[in-house]
Amino acid sequence: NPQKYKFRTMNQKLLEAADYLDEQIDSMAKILLEHYKFDSDEFGNPNIQSQSEILTVGRVVPDSPLTASDADLNSSSLFLETSRLGGIGQRVKLDVSSLENYSFFPGQIVCLRGQNLTGEFFKATQIYAIPFLGSPVSSSEELQSYEYGNDYLKVLVTAGPYTPQKELDYSHLAQFVERVNTEVRPDTLVMFGPFVDVNHVQIADGSARFDGLDKQPATLDDIFNMVVAPILRKLECLVILVPSTRDATTKHAAYPQDSFDRKSLGLGKNFKCFPNPATFQLNEFLVGCSNNDIFKDLKDVVAGSARKESRFDRIANHVIEQRRYYPVFPGGLRQKRSLKEQDESAHISGADLHLSYLGLAEFNTSLPDVLILPSELKSFSKIVQNVLVINPGTFMRQNSAGTYCEVNFKAPVLEELEKAGDDSYLHTVWKRARVDVRLGGL
Amino acid sequence: RASAELQPLDSTISDSERFRDCRKFVMKCSSCHSSFDFGGIQASNKYQTTYSGIKCLSCQQMLSPLAVSAQLEHFLRHEISAYYAGWLVCDDCGIKTRQVSVYGRRCIGKSGKAYGCKGIMRYVYSDKQLYNQLLYLQSLFDVDKAKKRVLKPLVADHEFEDKENKPVALNQGELDALVEQNRDLFRSHQRVVDKYLAECGRRYVDMGGIFEFMSVFKR
């Protein structure tokens, strides 16, 4: 419900934030209890010494409150935080030496079997994976009702910044729009912000200038309206805009983030403005997307066969398993490190999480078919748990061409789809999609 | 709780007092890159408000409206992001962390075990501070405050070590004229701040909570 994203920002209440963090643990415990048909008597408090093995659900946290959010943790610096119900909110040192395969990160909700023999630490002996949500399905009638031009649905995915790092120059975007209209001709273009990046150097120092305009823009909103919008308005296909918390073109500077206001930006009806994160449907496909760089911010402690997987696979798997778009807590932070004390480090930017509304960044009742998670790291696409995961990369990469993705979805053929029920079919998008990484602005 | 946080006297205290802990708005000249603290229409050795806007006194170049508003919005958004970094501090042991206990106010303590320290955690950057920071930025472009000379001074009087270099205060006639000439420009800068003030949750008091006692009359 997009209305829910219209909450007021800048009034984070500590107790509300804590309520959400507590509820995350207990609601996941309930899901695990039902899924594994555990006996609820098996659950215990991992903080207290016990002669027998117990089950526990908690949050993985660092062993010290002073650990920086970008610090590299290791297998001996992990604690487990309990909920108010599960262990009066206390934290216990986690001994993971008996576990063969794992990937743990701060903020992760985990279900463990183990024992606290001495009262000093909880020795985990088994991890229970959180069950995956089901995949969405459609009826044969629904599947046949969607349009596929030339038997394919062509979707482009781009993510900002759309200008070089040193100059606020949108000519690359203008050339791209031209190419989209004349050559690529997609059905849909999904564009992630930032469009006007509040942290761009020429905005930070006020030196941005725009040639060839009768009148210079007077504000950052003017830059969007006078420079960016005229370029975007030329697009002929359906365009979906998802903001970034770095976008100047929004007053909602927190994640989860309200959508742009299409009308005030003067964009036509072929534009749809979605919140960040958003879940929406393209033909039969359920698309989930989130514009907060989880691939950069999630740093895990990994051992065993999980180590052989690529880091991107592990992170995508975590997002899918945790059922939320940004499962890291505390959120990522960029700071200018000072040589003096840690306290003196200057803030640059961050994930800007508004904790009490993070429920809006949870998956709904099913997994998405396609998961788009833009990152400033190198673009990729992969299939994780039958979900097509895409990082389009950034359109401009510092001062050179970045990347975008072109995805072609083949029209569904009923006979080739997997049946989930009498008249319900799995979309099996991963069998029908082809992702090409293309060079962005030049 | 809402009523305990209410500060009805805020509007009656002076800007100097109210904005005492606000971070200064440091602007950079887009021509010569020298930076200066901007304090609205008041005397400074670094910049001058002229009949056509703000001028850098190191290079005598004017700052374009975009140069000012871009830096203003950048600074403002930086403050919002710093607020959302969510740093907490313990009133007892003084630990600073971004981790939050499931009890919120409970200190996680040096042990990391969330017991032992009886201190209470609170946000280092409170929503009240952020709200004040926004109001401060808005006041800098409030020409009527400039006219009445009630803006927060760039440097407090007693801080002037070098009396010789103290900028000469503007005379009232000059000030009045500058105010009228810059009214529209400064109003457009204020609108940048208004964009966020309108969004700022702190501005909206829970009227239901305050006037709860009156609900008896409604029926």
CB-CB under 8 Å, A10 with B196: yes
What is the edge-to-edge ordering of all strands in the sheet holding B121-123?
B96-97, B88-90, B121-123
| Contact state of B112 with A62 under an 8 Å Cβ cutoff | yes
How far, CA to CA in Å, does A288 sit from each of A189, A237, A328, A375, A376?
15, 20, 18, 15, 18
pLDDT score, position B55: 96
Strands A285-289 and A370-372: parallel
CB–CB contact B123 A354 (8 Å): no
Q: Within the 85-144 window of chain A, which residues sit less than 8 Å (CB to CB) from chain B? A: 89-92
| Other CB atoms within 10 Å distance of the CB of residue A429 | 24
SS3 call for B188:
helix
Among A1-10, A73-82, A263-272, A351-360, where is mean pLDDT lowest?
Answer: A1-10
* Six-digit token string for A344: 């003196």
Cβ distance of B110 and A64 shorter than 8 Å: yes
Q: What is the pLDDT of residue B170?
A: 87
Q: Residue A96: pLDDT above 50?
A: yes
Cβ distance A349 to B108 less than 8 Å, yes or no, reads: no
Closest to B85 in 3D by CA, of A295, A190, A102, A349:
A349
Whole-number mean pLDDT of chain B?
87
Residues of chain B contacting residue A206, judged by C-beta atoms under 8 Å apart: 27-28, 30, 63-64, 66-68, 70-71
Reduced to 3 states (helix: H, G, I; strand: E, B; else coil), residue A195 is coil
pLDDT at A145: 93
Instruction: Compute the average pLDDT of residues A1-15.
Output: 91
Q: pLDDT tens digit string along B91-136?
A: 999 999 999 999 999 999 999 999 999 999 999 999 999 999 999 9
Which residues, numbered 402 to 431 in chain A, qualify as contacts with chain B under a Cβ-Cβ cut-off of 8 Å?
none
Strands A278-282 and A271-273: unpaired
Among A351-355, A382-386, B155-159, B187-191, the range scoring the smallest mean pLDDT is B155-159
The pLDDT of residue B160 is above 80: no
pLDDT recorded at residue B205:
56
Residues of B in contact with A355 (CB under 8 A): 86, 100
Range picked from A225-229, A306-310, A419-423 for highest mean pLDDT: A225-229
Residue pLDDT, tens place only, B133-153: 999 999 999 999 999 999 999
Residue among B73, B103, B127 whose CB faces A12 most closely: B127
Give chain B positions within 8 Å (CB) of A77. Answer: none
The predicted structure's pLDDT at residue B15: 85
Which residues on chain B are in Cβ contact (under 8 Å) with A216? 64-66
Contact at CB, B114 and A81, closer than 8 angstroms = yes
Q: Confidence band (pLDDT; 50, 70, 90) for B161?
A: low
pLDDT tier at B3, thresholds 50, 70, 90: very low
The mean pLDDT value of chain A amounts to 94
Work out the percent of chain B whose per-residue pLDDT is above 70: 83
- Report the percent of chain A where pLDDT is more than 90: 90
Mean pLDDT of A136-153: 92
Tell me the pTM: 0.94
- Dist. CA A116–CA A45, nearest whole Å: 9
Asked whether residue B8 carries a pLDDT value surpassing 80, the answer given is no
CB A437 within 8 A of CB A378: no
Tell me which chain B residues have a C-beta less than 8 angstroms from the C-beta of A21. 100, 102
Of the pLDDT bands very low, low, confident and very high (cuts 50, 70, 90), residue B157 is: low
- Complex ipTM, two decimals? 0.96
Average confidence (pLDDT) over A355-362 = 96
Closest CA to B87 of A50, A431, A69: A69
CA B78 → CA A14, A17, A282, B59, B130, distances in Å? 21, 22, 35, 27, 11
Strands (E), A256-306: 271-273, 278-282, 285-289, 301-303
Residue in B closest to A59 by C-alpha: B102
Phi and psi torsions of A141, nearest 5°: -65, -45
Say which residue the tokens 């001994």 belong to: A95
Cis peptide before A106, with omega less than 30 degrees from 0? Answer: no
CA-based nearest residue to A22, from A11, A14, A33:
A14
- Considering only CA atoms, which of A85, A329, A90, A119 is closest in space to residue B111? A90
* Neighbour order of strands in the sheet with A419-421: A137-138, A424-426, A419-421
Q: For A84-98, A165-179, A340-354, B52-66, which range has the lowest pLDDT when averaged over its residues?
A: A340-354
Which residue does chain B place closest to A67, by CA atoms?
B97
Closest CA to A325 of A284, A283, A367, A286: A367
- Mean pLDDT lowest among A43-47, B67-71, B161-165: B161-165
Per-residue pLDDT of B47-66, as tens digits, reads: 999 999 999 999 999 999 99
CA-CA-CA-CA torsion for B139, A5, A27, A372, nearest 10 degrees? Answer: -110
Summarised one tens digit per residue, pLDDT across range A332-354 is 999 887 666 555 578 999 999 99
pLDDT over 80 at B211, yes or no: no
- What residues contact residue A191 under an 8 Å CB cut-off, 6+ apart? A158, A159, A160, A232, A239, A240, A241, A242
pLDDT (0 to 100) of residue B218 = 44
